[in-house]
Amino acid sequence: MKLEEYPDRDMMMIDLANQLAGELEECLLVHEFASFAVPGGTTPGPVFDALSAAPLDWTRVHVMPTDERMVPAGHDRSNEKLIRERLLTGRAADAGFLGFAGRSEDLDGLATDLAPNLPISVLLLGMGSDMHTASLFPGADELTAALDKGAPPVMKITAPGAPEPRLTLTRPVLEGAMSTHVLISGNEKREALHRAAAATLEEAPIKAVLANATVHWAP
Ligand SMILES: O=C(O)[C@H](O)[C@@H](O)[C@H](O)[C@H](O)COP(=O)(O)O
């Protein structure tokens, strides 16, 4: 794991957006297209804002969520809504998007649609202070299956106390990404990252990706 610490969040968001743009551009030099999986939540918006202006050939970038809450696509809790409003705008409006909304009864079809995009070229993840990532939550009903090395690429999962079930990319897909960045902020998540080192994978699903990830942290 590589840890990049920044003095403030604004600097982190801009620097991470530049790194992601650079990696996508490098991928497009040698591949027909790049796949780019991004999280929802309250943290990544400023990265998306900066990244959406990157002068990439976005027509060759396939964007997808790392996970999706099972709500209608336009719902305030929808990750697709966040991604469309903050990332798939400006220059990045030309990117392809593989959404998960409405696909919970068609996981085989979604897995088929995912397949050409695997391994993910560039993966951006968040992390909760409970050490979850994507929707791999400690204590979730399908967590053991979703952490299995033989798991299907996408699974339905329900976290304890969650307002709705979710669809999530699973461990084999996340750990198989060609480049992984984890974006976290605040002391609570910094402490959670430290705790993860001594925790089990089921206690800290973020461990599925940490070995090969660059973690970006600001106060
Ligand atoms: O659907 C989601 O919410 C994300 O994919 C999730 O994994 C998120 O990255 C973490 O929960 C951190 O969320 P915050 O950025 O809001 O702390």
Into how many domains does the chain fold? Answer: 1
Please report the atom of ligand 1 found closest to the CA of residue 185.
17
Using an 8 Å Cβ cutoff, are 151 and 183 in contact? no
Q: What is the pLDDT of residue 72?
A: 84
* Confidence check: pLDDT of 73 > 80: no
Q: What is the pLDDT of residue 103?
A: 96
Q: What is the mean pLDDT of residues 138-167?
A: 96
- Structure-block tokens of residue 24: 């996508």
| pLDDT confidence bin for 210, thresholds 50/70/90 | very high
C-alpha 43 to ligand 1 mean position (Å): 7
**What's the CA gap between 64 and 120, in Å, rounded?**
10
pLDDT of residue 66: 98
SS3 call for 36: strand
Which CATH number belongs to the domain containing residue 155 in this structure?
3.40.50.1360
Shortest-distance Cα residue to atom 3 of ligand 1? 41
**107-124 mean pLDDT:** 98
Beta-ladder partners of 97: 63
Average pLDDT of the residues in 106-135: 98
Q: 102 near 73, Cβ under 8 Å?
A: yes
Region 137-152: mean pLDDT is 98
Measured in Å, residue 29 CA sits from the centre of ligand 1 at 31
What residues are in contact with ligand 1 under a 6 Å CB criterion? Answer: 39-43, 66-67, 79, 126-128, 133-134
Neighbour count for residue 12 (Cβ, 10 Å): 23
Flag whether the ipTM exceeds 0.85. Answer: yes
pLDDT band at 44 (very low <50, low <70, confident <90, very high): very high
Domain span at 85 = 2-218
% of the chain at pLDDT higher than 90: 98
At 74 the pLDDT is 84
Q: What is the mean pLDDT of residues 61-79?
A: 94
What pLDDT digit, counting tens, does each position of 82-93 carry?
999 999 999 999
The tens digit of pLDDT for each residue in 11-42 reads 999 999 999 999 999 999 999 999 999 999 99
